[in-house]
Amino acid sequence: MDVKQLAEQVIAGNRRALARAITLVESVRDDHRAQAIELMEEVGKSGRQALRLGLSGTPGVGKSTFIESFGMMLIRQGLKVAVLAVDPSSSRSGGSILGDKTRMELLSREKNAFIRPSPSQSELGGVARRTREAVALCEAAGYDLILIETVGVGQSETVVSEMSDLFLLLLAPAGGDELQGVKRGIMEMADLILVNKADGDLKPAAQRTCADYAGALRLIRKRPQDPKDFPKAMTVSAIEEKGLLEAWGEMNTLADWRRENGFFDKRRSEQAEYWFAQDIRHGLLSQLEKEPLKSMIAGLARKVSKGEITPGHAAADVLRALKDA
């Protein structure tokens, strides 16, 4: 494959080239990885900058409906929208692609929308790196807004936050007046909390939940990257398409302020450093999955388990073999 040519086609906005490029960065083959590195260098020259929007929400909060409504609104404004996902549990054969198409039926038919399911890998580190590169590819391809969604499972929010300019937390109205067990760490990551389903019977509950979270946000330590009144909580109704324009307005207010005050570029720089460290880590540990080391480790593990060799001795043997390989 001619990587330079592929990069040019991606930058020219060719959808099939973009899909092929993402498939390349998703590959675990060593030769593909070398090509992917070259590809990322090439597309980096486009100089384009999209707004990268992380979106977290547990199943049931109406995430797909939100993305569909919000995405369609942006498309009608003439914007190009890409939707990516970080879901370490997804499996392509399990119908993730089909799922994404039916989940966002209108959006998936738009020529200015690009929807790509999560890479099918059980290991979050692998999913993360590939999605991060897919984000940069979509950006180079001229998408104005890149939505990166995740279900709130384990570390996946951190991973999505580390590839987003803004991080949105989507919630459903709560029954009582209690916070929905959202972890403090997630609250501290959020730039905007959107309480969905502010329609029909649930509207009062949505407003109450929104007030609760607005209160909780005020208790969180002030962050330098926030202007006055941010982070903030709002209600939306994805089904009735209400509050979406207001939410989009707030996102732009925040993004513009950060751009003007240097925090936008600063965050991207820090994220690049974060991914550099993660890539090294991931590359180092992935050596252990390859033969002949994998078999050597399995054999030593049996001996360790039987007490024939200490864990420390066996580990030293593996590390020596790695060095000599």
Q: How far is the CB of 185 from its own copies (least distance, A)?
A: 12
Question: How would DSSP label each residue in 38-68?
Answer: HHHHHHGGG---PEEEEEE--TTS-HHHHHH
* Cβ-based nearer residue to its own copies, 202 or 321: 321
Q: How far is the CB of 212 from its own copies (least distance, A)?
A: 18
* Cβ-based nearer residue to its own copies, 146 or 205: 146
Q: Which residues bind its own copies (CB under 8 A)?
A: 33-34, 36-37, 40-41, 44, 129, 133, 269-270, 272-273, 275-281, 283-285, 287-288, 297, 300-301, 304-307, 310-316, 318-319, 322
Q: How far is the CB of 312 from its own copies (least distance, A)?
A: 5
Tell me the two tokens of residue 22.
């993402």
* Cβ-based nearer residue to its own copies, 110 or 125: 125
* Cβ-based nearer residue to its own copies, 218 or 281: 281
> Is the preceding peptide bond at 204 cis, omega within 30 degrees of 0?
no
Q: How far is the CB of 273 from its own copies (least distance, A)?
A: 5
CA trace torsion 29, 34, 35, 38 (10° rounding): 150
Q: Exposure string (b/e) for 161-185, b if CB count within 10 Å is 16 or more?
A: bbbbbbbbbbbbbbeeeeebebeee
Q: How far is the CB of 168 from its own copies (least distance, A)?
A: 24
* Cβ-based nearer residue to its own copies, 65 or 286: 286
Q: Is 242 helix (H, G, I), strand (E, B) or coil?
A: strand
Q: Is 166 helix (H, G, I), strand (E, B) or coil?
A: strand
Q: How far is the CB of 136 from its own copies (least distance, A)?
A: 8
* Cβ-based nearer residue to its own copies, 24 or 251: 24
- What's at 143, amino acid-wise? Y
- What's at 312, amino acid-wise? G
